[in-house]
Each structure stands twice: as structure tokens, then as C-alpha cells.
Structure 1
Amino acid sequence: MLQKTHSVAGLVAAELVLVHQDVPFLSWEAAGALLLGCLAGTLADVDKQGSTMAKVLYPISALLKILKVRHRSITHSILFILVLMFVTVPLPALFFLTFVVAYVSHPLIDLLNHRGVELFWPLKLHIRLLPKFMAIDTGSLGETVVRWILLAVSLWIPFSTIIS
């Protein structure tokens, strides 16, 4: 999936954390969490040369390239998510939860792609949620539809909290 799709998925993840933690959307904490969600949702693609995250975090991306880390392998794995949770646990609860949930949204969205992800890395087993004929290709109309649905959800969540 493209960066913009992962960013919107991270935004939705952050909004869900805000609702769960009962944080008002019109607050500085919410603004920080929403920004963090948009960024964390794209972070796993640091392993893809040429991606925005690979450019922004070039030293890490270059190291991953030297180590011959394949795209959608270690950075998309459950093991890596557990390591990230351990490293980020000192963050305040709101930002810790936002970071983890938004980061996890990335491999979840990539599970819809026909190539899947190595969720159980170091096993080279590619996992996907949809059969190959239904899978969503990166940059396809299907991805655009998913992105627009996520965008609609991201607009609905804050308004639904105002109504209730």
C-alpha cells in the first residue's frame, strides 16, 4: 500500500486510541497523538528503498539495505512490534498506545496485498488475508477505495463522539 493509505490508517488508529482513552479531540494531547498516528502508520516502510520513511530515516534505511532486509519482512513482523513495544514503553500511556496501534495498522493493511507480509519473521512465510484474486494491489483502484473508506471513518469517529 502507498504511504497515504498507511498514514490514514494510522490516523484512524490514533483516533480509536483517543476514544478508548477518553481524550477530547480538541486538545494538545489529541493533536500530538493524531500526528504520531499518521507518522507511525508509515514507519514500517523504512525497509523499502525510495519510500518516504526510507528517505526521512535514511541512516536506518541504509543499515537495513546493508543487512539485506527484505521489504515486508522484519519491520512488518510480530517480533519487531514486540521489540518496539519494549523500546517505547517509557512514553506516556496515550502516546505509547497510539504509537503501537498505529504502527500495527501498517502490517494489517499490508495483509490485504497479494504479496502479504512475513508476519512470523524470521520464518519466510508470507501471510495475506485475502485470496490472490481478491487481493488489493499497491496503487490500484482497490487501494484508493480502501483509503477513501478509511478517510470517511476518520471523519466519522470525532463527530460520533460529539453526538453521543
Structure 2
Amino acid sequence: MPFPRTTRNLAVSALALAGVLTAAIAPAQAATTAATSCEHVCILDARTGGHPDYDRLVLDLTDNVAPPAVQAQVSPDGSYTPGASDETRHLAITGKSYLLLDVYPAEARSSGPNAYTTPTVQPVSLSSLKGVQMTGIYEGHIGFGLSLGDYTRYQVSTLTAPNRIVVDLYH
């Protein structure tokens, strides 16, 4: 038995409305997805570990693009200048010396699925590593300061699968 004309018209209208709503929602979902992904690699967290011959800092990264470059510089007093500021600051955790890292290009978000989840100042009780601090975010540069105990040398590596930056501080 065929549907009455009124029921058929309602069904056609409902299908048309569903198509319009789907077309309107799809761009909004695409915009949300684009907003949650990182243009550059995102730094997700900083974790540390002690080993018999060295202490290690690992910065976990998103896998959406190639890992960033990292420049390291020893600082005798832990002073740094964040971003475009003229103000000199000092790392919050005291050490015998300090290692400053500049990660570029990278992002560190405060919220969302790719947020940086570690406290910005993280005390550590290892032989060579005493603390890790995010020192600033400026135009694709993310700064980190490492407060050091006794160490003989350091090595910075960038690894893939998964993406991460590894800093080894040898006793």
C-alpha cells in the first residue's frame, strides 16, 4: 500500500532538512579538528628518569610533523630572557649550573587534546638533574631550563616513532 501524500511529503522534507544540517555541521567539525591539531609539533609533557651513568629528560611530542630543532646552551647562573622581553629572569630551582634549551618550531598548549600536561616548574631529585622549567613560549620557540647538579657532559637527541627530545646528563 503506498504512503499517503502527506506522509511522503513529510519524509521528503525530513530528508532534505537532514541534508542541510549535515552540510552545516561538517565545516564546523573540520574547523574544530584544525583548531585542535598543531601547525608545528606540540610538546605534550616533560618526564625524567635516573640511570646508573646518567639522568634523562624526555620531552614527548606529537607525531604530526617532523621533530623540531633543539639548541642547548650552558648558563652558569640560570638566567634567561623570555621571548621578546628585556627582563632577565632566573630559574626557580637552584642548581650548580644550568642548561637552557630552545625548541623550534614547536607549540605548547595550555588546554585541549595536545596540551602540555607537566607543571611549568618541576623539581627533580636526581644526581645530575635537579629541576625542569618551561621558561617561555614566543613565536614558535619553546624554552626550557634545566637546573643541574654534578654532571660531566650532556647529549641532546631528537628521536622519532614516537617523536621526542631526549637530554642525557652524564654523572
TM over 0.5: no
User: By percentage of residues, which structure has more helix?
Assistant: 1
Larger Rg, first or second structure (1 or 2): 2
Higher relative contact order (CA 8 A, sep 6+): 1
User: By percentage of residues, which structure has more strand?
Assistant: 2
